[in-house]
């Protein structure tokens, strides 16, 4: 961006899981806003790809291969960020996954619970705790936690995943109160189903049902990484959201507001099921 209307030029942001999907879209948008960007990415190929893209764009960037679930990796990550930039202004806790566990709760295992905890909540605690001293030293900043719309409604077959995402809301609100006097704002974004490295939503809908996509969401489509990245950029900017903290922005095409209401082909609405499919579950015959 040619003029720094967001007040972000030269600021330093760290994005976890920044090699693909929402994280990658956020990294690229931050770079366009003139920010210096640090990326934590567990996948070697994705790390190399985002490193090359940022270098080609002339961005001042640091890409660290790290598993943010591991305490030693988090310490190393923060040391590299501090060594390279000497400060941190924005932290985006983007990592999260349901790990492919879709089953009734009674069939879930404690090992699965622990794995879901590590990738959806524990890493957020560890990275945030390690980042707070750098944010405080910079005179304040913004923490943005990526949650999901499933934190605000019931979802079957991924009960434990949803429970940890709901916990992000309490973490966000309480930390915002605790850190407010340090000038550190803490917020979250909650995307609905978004085309990403984890979920290619449109292709999973049976072709004969794809005309329903425009009816499932008031805005009429699945999300894209750029949709959530835009909300994150807003929360990163002190100029735009300097009096916003402890809040969660749904990035859901209006799905939460609509509840069970969907548009019919004739332009009317219904709150009753119109097709027998959830639209997201992989079907072997569709691969």
Contact 169, 127 (CB under 8 A): no
List the structure tokens of 103.
């089953």
Quote the CA–CA distance of 145 and 127 in Å, as a whole number: 11
CB-CB contact of 279 with 216 (8 Å):
yes
269 vs 162, higher pLDDT? 162
**The CA-based dihedral angle spanning residues 184, 190, 194, 196, taken in that order and rounded to the nearest 10 degrees:** 40
Shortest CA distance to 91 belongs to which of 138, 58, 44? 138
List, for residues 95-147, the tens digit of each pLDDT value: 999 998 999 999 999 999 999 999 999 999 999 999 999 999 999 999 999 99
- For the four alpha carbons of 195, 192, 8 and 10, in that order, the dihedral sign comes to negative
Would you tell me which CATH number, out of the four given (3.40.50.300, 1.50.10.10, 3.40.50.720, 3.40.50.880), belongs to the domain 12-286? 3.40.50.720
pLDDT for position 273: 64
Summarised one tens digit per residue, pLDDT across range 48-61 is 999 999 999 999 99
Q: How far is it, in rounded angstroms, from Cα 203 to Cα 223?
A: 13
SS3 state of residue 62: strand
> Counting every residue, how long is the chain?
287
pLDDT of 286 above 50: no
Integer Cα distance of 149 and 48 in angstroms: 31
Give residue 287's pLDDT: 44
Give Cα 147 distance to the centre of its chain.
6
**Active site (catalytic) residues:** 161
pTM for the model stands at: 0.92
For the cut 50, the answer to whether the pLDDT of residue 153 exceeds it is yes
CA distances from 188 to 27, 108, 119, 278 (A): 17, 28, 16, 26
Band the pLDDT of 167: cuts 50, 70, 90.
very high
| Residues 164-168: contacts with CB under 8 Å, at least 24 apart | 164/116, 164/117, 164/120, 164/121, 165/96, 165/120, 167/121, 168/120, 168/121, 168/124
């Amino acid at each position: 961006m040619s003029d720094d209307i967001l007040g972000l030029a030269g600021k330093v942001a760290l994005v976890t899981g920044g090699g693909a999907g929402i994280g990658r879209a956020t990294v690229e948008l931050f770079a366009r806003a003139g920010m210096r960007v640090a990326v934590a990415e567990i996948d070697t190929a994705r790390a190399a790809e985002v490193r090359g893209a940022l270098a080609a764009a002339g961005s001042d960037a640091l890409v660290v291969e790290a598993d943010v679930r591991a305490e030693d990796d988090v310490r190393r990550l923060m040391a590299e960020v501090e060594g390279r930039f000497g400060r941190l202004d924005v932290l985006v806790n983007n990592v999260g996954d349901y790990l492919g566990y879709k089953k009734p709760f009674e069939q879930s295992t404690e090992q699965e619970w622990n794995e879901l905890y590590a990738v959806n909540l524990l890493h957020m605690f560890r990275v945030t705790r390690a980042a707070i001293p750098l944010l405080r030293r910079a005179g304040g900043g913004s923490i943005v936690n990526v949650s999901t719309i499933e934190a605000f409604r019931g979802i079957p077959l991924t009960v434990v995943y949803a429970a940890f995402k709901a916990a992000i809301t309490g973490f966000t609100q309480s930390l915002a109160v605790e850190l407010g006097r340090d000038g550190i704002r803490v917020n979250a974004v909650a995307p609905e189903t978004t085309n990403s490295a984890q979920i290619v939503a449109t292709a999973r809908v049976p072709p004969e049902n794809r005309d329903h996509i425009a009816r499932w969401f008031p805005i009429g489509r699945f999300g894209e990484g750029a949709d959530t990245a835009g909300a994150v950029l807003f929360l990163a900017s002190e100029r735009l959201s300097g009096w916003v903290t402890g809040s969660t922005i749904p990035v859901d095409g209006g799905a939460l507001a609509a509840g069970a209401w969907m548009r019919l082909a004739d332009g009317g609405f219904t709150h009753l099921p119109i097709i027998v499919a959830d639209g997201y579950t992989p079907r072997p015959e569709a691969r």
